[in-house]
Chains A and B, each alone.
Chain A
Amino acid sequence: MSEINELFNKQLRIANIGLESFYKDLKAKEIDVIHVNWRPPAGGNKKMIKLLDKLKK
């Protein structure tokens, strides 16, 4: 069975990254959801992000 068909037979457990309102909608329906408290990496400084990416590699 493919991963997608397996998902159709499982309980959906969601990680929400971004708009918190999507998380709140799901939470209100008692869906299993966790909200990632995301922040722009390196304060959104693009030069710094590139440097960090290089370091990770």
Chain B
Amino acid sequence: MMFVAAEIKKNTYYDSVYLMRVTKEIEKIEGVISVLVGMGTELNKELVLSLDMMTQEIETIGANDFFVVAKMEKKDIMVEVLSKIESLMNEQKSSSIKEYKPATLESAVKYEPLTNFSLISLPGEYAIIEAKKALERNLHVMLFSDNISIEKEKELKLLAKQRGLLMMGPDCGTAIINGIPLAFANEVNRGSIGIISASGTGAQEVSVLIDKLGSGISQLIGTGGRDLKDEIDGIMMLQGIEALEKDESTDVIVLISKPPSKNVAEKIFSSINSSKKCYVINFIGSEFSNINNDKIHFTVSLEETAKLAVWLANAEKTTRKNEAEKRSKNKIDKLSIREKESTLIAKKRSKNISKKRKYLRGLFTGGTLALEAMNILQKEGISTYSNIPIDYDYELTNPKESIKNTCVDLGDDVFTKGRPHPMIEPSIRNERLIKEFNDEEVAIILMDCVLGYGSHEDPAGEIAKTLAEAKKGMGREKNDNPIVVVSICATDKDPQSLNQSVLDLENEGIIVSFSTAQATRIVAKVLETIGG
């Protein structure tokens, strides 16, 4: 027998990340079969309906009303659910009671007139309104929200340009301004390398590797993923270039984006062509060989981008391009310190697994990290199926089912509709990890693990715990498990402990790398060994 019960709190608003935490706590209560905690938005109501938990009360509520609905084994479990919610809400209240929290941006600026920056992460339709208000008040904006039309993006960016302000986003996940990590970013050293990036995780990986190589970041400006499309015309990247050109703390400028449109690429090149500063450009997976300028360097991988930027930052300003490239190769070893050993272990393990095991499954929370892996594999002659394929012949028709060698971006809308992004709440990936680990054709699993601000409090612990669960009760030979390789994107200054994370992963027999490129090279060697 199953029971469904709901509770509504009118005019009580909570943000989505907080509600997700509440949901996780409620799910732990014994006897709760499924639970949905949220605001009464149309999307949430649709989800309630699809989970077969709709009640009359929920039908009538609005976006400002909080609801909880649960499917339970016994009716009286709801009492426990409600009392748990009550205590979580009280915790929230007591932790936030001390500070003044104005109801509007206007009153925030009135209260703190020196406010110069606004970080906006509201649902898309409301985010546009607030971003416009912020720009009109001369605040620089980082717009984390997505679901904003390209027309509205252009409007906001033109307004910002007119006022000389930053308009980072929409869908801007990562920025570091004046050394302050905003939204999803790592705690990295300050230094003379400026980054302008259309990719959040791409920027995280490069900034972390720069930190690891002993250099640092002056500014990390996010543009949002569509900035280099014709419709937006590279407005934010061009403004960023102008600002970093004038910035005395920046010597080397890194640009990261998916391949830009031809027109936007030309505008960017013409804006940097006569620059005295050095540029390292990673237009993910694409090379521009027709640019002949000693100051402009193109890279194919994020790892190479970081290495070259660091070398250039350390090099004499007059160094010629070919020398830079030659010497950058000598720098590789500082990052690859354990690569040889890890490769040996992985190859040795691959000899113990059954002959049926042939394939790779890459489970990524960062789309750009998935692309980095797929590009490296392709250079090794290994094609991968994906929901974000580099070759459309290898597009997954159903991203929820892997085919042969597959790398999926689990942050894609197809996975995150109505669910939190796996970098915040890893259950989407945990479920997929168990599935792939149990697939008898899988030889090796590759995953990213992104620490830093914004991310889950213990992403490595979640991977380790899930793997332990997947292994438990499996009736096959102990050695006949897929090899698991994790690339960890983090510095030793991040809020989650890097050392503990590595320890937790290694205790579960996971091979840990410190860049996606390194982890992928290990995977390629294993696939070569087993002939996958």
Interface residues of A, Cβ cutoff 8 Å to B: 1-5, 7-8, 10-22, 25-29, 31-32, 34-41, 43-45
In the assembled complex, the CB of A20 is this many whole angstroms from the nearest CB of chain B, namely 6
A39 vs B62: C-alpha distance in the bound complex, in angstroms? 12
A8 & B122 in contact (Cβ 8 Å cutoff)? no
B101's contact among A1, A19, A36, by CB below 8 Å, is which? A36
A7 & B101 in contact (Cβ 8 Å cutoff)? no
A44 vs B294: C-alpha distance in the bound complex, in angstroms? 55
In the assembled complex, the CB of A36 is this many whole angstroms from the nearest CB of chain B, namely 5
A36 & B103 in contact (Cβ 8 Å cutoff)? yes
| 14 A-B contact pairs sorted by A residue (CB < 8 Å) | A3-B164, A4-B164, A4-B166, A7-B140, A14-B115, A18-B15, A25-B453, A34-B100, A34-B111, A36-B108, A38-B126, A39-B13, A43-B64, A43-B65
B163 & A22 in contact (Cβ 8 Å cutoff)? no
Query: Which chain A positions have C-beta within 8 A of B181?
Result: 25
B119 & A34 in contact (Cβ 8 Å cutoff)? no
In the assembled complex, the CB of A19 is this many whole angstroms from the nearest CB of chain B, namely 4
Interface residues of B, Cβ cutoff 8 Å to A: 11, 13, 15-18, 39-41, 62-65, 96, 99-105, 108-109, 111-112, 114-122, 126-127, 130, 134, 138-140, 144-145, 163-166, 177-178, 180-183, 219, 239-240, 242-243, 246-247, 249, 453-454, 495
B247 & A5 in contact (Cβ 8 Å cutoff)? yes
The verdict on A1 contacting B117 (CB below 8 Å), with A7-B140, A39-B103 known, is: no
A4 & B119 in contact (Cβ 8 Å cutoff)? no
B247 & A8 in contact (Cβ 8 Å cutoff)? yes
The verdict on A15 contacting B134 (CB below 8 Å), with A43-B63, A44-B41 known, is: yes
In the assembled complex, the CB of B322 is this many whole angstroms from the nearest CB of chain A, namely 33
A5's contact among B114, B119, B243, B454, by CB below 8 Å, is which? B243
A36 vs B65: C-alpha distance in the bound complex, in angstroms? 18
A11 vs B120: C-alpha distance in the bound complex, in angstroms? 19
Query: Which chain A positions have C-beta within 8 A of B246?
Result: 1-2, 5
The verdict on A36 contacting B121 (CB below 8 Å), with A14-B115, A20-B96 known, is: no
A34 & B145 in contact (Cβ 8 Å cutoff)? no
For B100, B108, B145, B177, the residue with the greatest tally of chain A CB atoms inside 10 Å of its CB is B108
The residue on A at minimum CB distance from B242 is: A2
B117 & A13 in contact (Cβ 8 Å cutoff)? yes
The verdict on A15 contacting B108 (CB below 8 Å), with A20-B18, A38-B122, A43-B64 known, is: yes
Which A-B residue pairs are the 4 nearest by beta carbons? Answer: A44-B63, A18-B121, A3-B164, A43-B64
Query: Which chain B positions have C-beta within 8 A of A41?
Result: 126
A3 & B165 in contact (Cβ 8 Å cutoff)? yes
The residue on A at minimum CB distance from B138 is: A3
The residue on B at minimum CB distance from A28 is: B495
B102 & A21 in contact (Cβ 8 Å cutoff)? no
The residue on B at minimum CB distance from A21 is: B17
The residue on B at minimum CB distance from A10 is: B116
A44 & B249 in contact (Cβ 8 Å cutoff)? no
A3 vs B117: C-alpha distance in the bound complex, in angstroms? 12
Query: Which chain A positions have C-beta within 8 A of B108?
Result: 15, 34, 36
In the assembled complex, the CB of A5 is this many whole angstroms from the nearest CB of chain B, namely 5
Query: Which chain A positions have C-beta within 8 A of B102?
Result: 34, 36-37
A3 vs B166: C-alpha distance in the bound complex, in angstroms? 8
Taking A1-B246, A8-B249, A34-B102 as known contacts, 9 extra A-B pairs with beta carbons closer than 8 A to each other, sorted by chain A number, are A3-B138, A4-B242, A5-B243, A10-B116, A21-B15, A34-B115, A41-B126, A43-B11, A44-B39
B120's contact among A3, A17, A31, A43, by CB below 8 Å, is which? A17
For A32, A43, A45, the residue with the greatest tally of chain B CB atoms inside 10 Å of its CB is A43
Query: Which chain A positions have C-beta within 8 A of B16?
Result: 19
Query: Which chain A positions have C-beta within 8 A of B144?
Result: 18-19, 22
The verdict on A14 contacting B119 (CB below 8 Å), with A3-B163, A4-B243, A8-B247 known, is: yes
A34 & B101 in contact (Cβ 8 Å cutoff)? yes
B239 & A7 in contact (Cβ 8 Å cutoff)? no
A13 & B247 in contact (Cβ 8 Å cutoff)? no
In the assembled complex, the CB of A6 is this many whole angstroms from the nearest CB of chain B, namely 9
For B100, B178, B454, the residue with the greatest tally of chain A CB atoms inside 10 Å of its CB is B178
Query: Which chain A positions have C-beta within 8 A of B249?
Result: 8
The verdict on A12 contacting B63 (CB below 8 Å), with A2-B246, A37-B103 known, is: no
Query: Which chain A positions have C-beta within 8 A of B242?
Result: 2, 4
B112 & A34 in contact (Cβ 8 Å cutoff)? yes
B140 & A4 in contact (Cβ 8 Å cutoff)? yes
Query: Which chain B positions have C-beta within 8 A of A4?
Result: 140, 164-166, 239-240, 242-243
Query: Which chain B positions have C-beta within 8 A of A44?
Result: 39-41, 62-64
The verdict on A35 contacting B101 (CB below 8 Å), with A4-B243, A17-B130, A20-B17 known, is: yes
B166 & A7 in contact (Cβ 8 Å cutoff)? yes
In the assembled complex, the CB of A16 is this many whole angstroms from the nearest CB of chain B, namely 5
A28 vs B181: C-alpha distance in the bound complex, in angstroms? 12
Query: Which chain B positions have C-beta within 8 A of A22?
Result: 119, 121, 144, 182-183, 454
The residue on B at minimum CB distance from A18 is: B121
The residue on B at minimum CB distance from A3 is: B164
